[in-house]
Amino acid sequence: MKDAIEMILKDPFGMLGMRKAGETGLVVKAFLPEAAEAWIRDDRSGDEYAMERQNPEGLFSAGISGTEVFPYTLRTATPDALISEFKDPYSFPPVLTDFDLHLIGEGSHYRNYDKLGSHLREIDGVSGVHFAVWAPNARIVSVIGDFNRWDNRRHPMRLLGSSGVWEIFIPGLQEGEIYKFDIRSRHHRYHAVKSDPYGFFFELRPKTASIVCNIDRYVWGDESWMKERTGRNWFESPIAVYEVHLGSWMRTSDEGTPFLTYRELAERLIPYVKKMGYTHLELLPVSEHPLDASWGYQTIGYFAPTSRHGRPEDFMYFVDQCHNNGIGVLLDWSPAHFPRDGHGLGFFDGTCLYEHQDPRKGEHRDWGTLIFNYGRNEVRNFLISNALFWLDKYHIDGLRVDAVASMLYLDYSRRPGEWVPNKYGGNANLEAIDFIKKFNELTHQYFPGILTVAEESTAWAGVTKPVYLGGLGFDLKWNMGWMNDTLEYMAKEPVHRKYHHNNLTFSLIYAFSEKFVLVLSHDEVVHGKRSLLGKMPGDEWQKFANLRLYYGYMYGHPGKKLLFMGGEFGQWIEWRFDHHLDWHLLEVERHARLQQFVQALNGMYALEPSLHEDDFDARGFSWIDFRDTEKGIISFVRRGRREGDHLVAICNFTPVPRHGYRIGVPEGCFYREILNSDWVEFGGSGVGNGGGVQAAARPWQGKPYSVELTIPPLAILFLKPDRQATAGA
């Protein structure tokens, strides 16, 4: 009897359903283990035929005279006389076409998320769910769920030729069905139950099943944003990014199920971001992940927004509301690695399907995760279609790619003997490089106006150069060098800073070699590194002054901007993924005034073209003086595209106010003090220049004019030419 069941599982569409039997008859077979009796009803005539039980496991069969295959319904009765009627899954032809399978195998089916996974379909007037999964080394694949009591004998799938794709259409199933794939391999007697790699929705962790979900129902209202985005030149526009972990920005509590829903986040987070003047939100990965402590970077459900905050349409609503409030949405995306969880991608069909088999290429020992096999067509297709999926279905404005350096180098974080050189003997991961280039080409081809951002921490050349010019094709790159150098400098006591002045100025040597984003991200406020405010030296007043100065220098320095949540009001403690931000600190004046300063910085940055138009060209920046290490003062000019459009910035990195300090300026006009981090309204001491200063025709520091300033302690000044004003105005 077991042999009969094994034959059905191996070839369900060859054994089950209706087919011709000889020249004058038909036979219908169905596996119905819960049935005591079963019948076939002819959907055309209503005629009904009793089926006979063929074995104790529940194989039923009926012979019918005639040669024309017809549509039918199965009817069963359980031992307690419960009657059920349903269409036979094994009476439906394949859904996926040969062309679909060709493109999947070729690695060029860039909308394969419309084909693989689970999809509500109507076939021949019958509604149900179509399931498809890629598992080329499987011997048997079944869909299991509540609908079949998780019985892997009930719905074995058909293998479509040599494609490695298995599929089945199960009539009568509806949205909300919970399911997994039961996979028995040809190798190692391997048997596992896997979540759907293309699943659109998942159970709330710690549960791991996929859920049938229609994600094409939401009606978007962001047409004007999407149209305007297509023609937007982001390189010459302000980009001020607020980096957020949705699970800990704000919570209902710190116990139980504390998360705000996507719709609650839309009500609270979006007005806050808009008020603060940020142009973009960057979300730590929202794709489904089982482990909160991974922050989302160890993804299982690459095609599913996490159910921690609600349903897929709720996340669509969140993005929609961002767009309707003029805020772009960037997602952290993690194609560098994936976790080993048994229900995930690892060893998916009893073989290393998504990952490399050789551990020297297939695992990240630092993170305990697996590395994608970028040289395999179907794996590349999985990742590229996933990137396009978020841009397509969720209207995401860009992807920040995590851990790019680990993808580029075969010897990343490995000792000699722990890695395999490429075919030329080098350490460049040629397959990953090719994947990255293709990713950047296709995302921009299909969705012009989006941004791709690399978290890349090495000196790899051409990260933001177009692919056709030999680069990787990213739009922007995180400037990790600037972050490391300046944080090291700012952490020094001011008396020692003069010995580390190069940490402050070195970034301008390479500032225009790539299109950089200056980042103070989540990575800088975890793992014992202390919060940004906690890194600053001095007493409490000096800590706040230092942080305002640091933020001001960041906004004056060429490059787009990113700040992690909590930094804008001065968290004292490190970020905790399982605790909300310390919003109560805003009841303390210094924290509230720091927040007001960041708001003012964003406002100035957006209003002044000289601070964002030429971030990536040396014509947008020039030093006035960077040599005064004794007094800890630097000064520079930022220029816009229009003639005469410029700002002058002066930084004092010591706690000593400087009176009568002369610097050179480009014009002989009145320079208005448009922002001073030492203003009382920002928590400073109120030292300044009475609104501005008049430039004198006295050449200084290579400039034809100069101004004499009072420079506040631990502060930055921004001066703007006001050609109609005079001193004292």
Count other C-beta atoms under 10 Å from residue 723's C-beta.
9
The whole-angstrom separation of Cα 660 and Cα 700 is: 14
Which tokens hold the place of 596? 């007001």
22 to 50, 65, 72, 92: CA distances (angstroms): 20, 10, 20, 21
Backbone angles phi, psi at 476, to 5 degrees: -140, 160
Task: Return the H-helix or E-strand segment holding 324.
Answer: helix 312-324
The whole-angstrom separation of Cα 535 and Cα 574 is: 11
Could you tell me which of 584, 555, 556, 554 has the C-alpha nearest to residue 572? Answer: 584
Candidates 402, 514, 608, 613; catalytic one: 402
Could you tell me which of 610, 611, 639 has the C-alpha nearest to residue 623? Answer: 639
Task: Return the H-helix or E-strand segment holding 519.
Answer: strand 516-520
Close Cβ partners of 110 (under 8 Å, ≥ 6 residues apart): 381, 384, 385, 388, 442, 446
Could you tell me which of 187, 302, 176, 293 has the C-alpha nearest to residue 245? Answer: 293
Percent composition of the chain: helix, strand, coil (DSSP 3-state, to 5): 30, 30, 45
Task: Tell how strand 476-478 and strand 516-520 pair up.
Answer: parallel
The whole-angstrom separation of Cα 249 and Cα 97 is: 45
**Cis peptide upstream of residue 290 (ω within 30 degrees of 0):** no
The whole-angstrom separation of Cα 100 and Cα 635 is: 60
Burial class of residue 542 in the structure, from the number of CB atoms within 10 Å of its CB (0-12 exposed, 13-18 middle, 19+ buried): middle
The whole-angstrom separation of Cα 635 and Cα 647 is: 11
Return the half-sphere exposure (C-beta side, CA atoms, 13 A cut-off) of residue 35: 25
Task: Return the H-helix or E-strand segment holding 280.
Answer: strand 280-283
Could you tell me which of 330, 346, 347 has the C-alpha nearest to residue 478? Answer: 330
Q: What is the DSSP letter of 285?
A: P
The whole-angstrom separation of Cα 545 and Cα 605 is: 20
Helix (H, G, I), strand (E, B) or coil at 77: strand
Residue at 533: amino acid letter: L
Can 402 be counted among the known catalytic residues? yes
Burial class of residue 708 in the structure, from the number of CB atoms within 10 Å of its CB (0-12 exposed, 13-18 middle, 19+ buried): middle
639 has which bridge partners?
Answer: 646
Q: Cβ distance 20 to 66 under 8 Å?
A: no
302 has which bridge partners?
Answer: none
Backbone angles phi, psi at 661, to 5 degrees: -90, 125
621 to 74, 503, 512, 639, 663: CA distances (angstroms): 76, 18, 10, 6, 16
Could you tell me which of 216, 169, 177, 209 has the C-alpha nearest to residue 193? Answer: 209
Candidates 455, 613, 615, 678; catalytic one: 455
Which tokens hold the place of 381? 């297709």
Contacts within 8 Å (CB) and 24+ apart, 264-268: 265/309, 265/318, 266/317, 266/318, 266/321, 266/322
The whole-angstrom separation of Cα 649 and Cα 636 is: 5
Could you tell me which of 429, 464, 468, 478 has the C-alpha nearest to residue 445? Answer: 468
Task: Tell how strand 280-283 and strand 191-194 pair up.
Answer: unpaired
Task: Tell how strand 178-185 and strand 138-145 pair up.
Answer: antiparallel
How long, in residues, is the chain?
A: 729
Can 42 be counted among the known catalytic residues? no
Residues designated catalytic: 402, 455
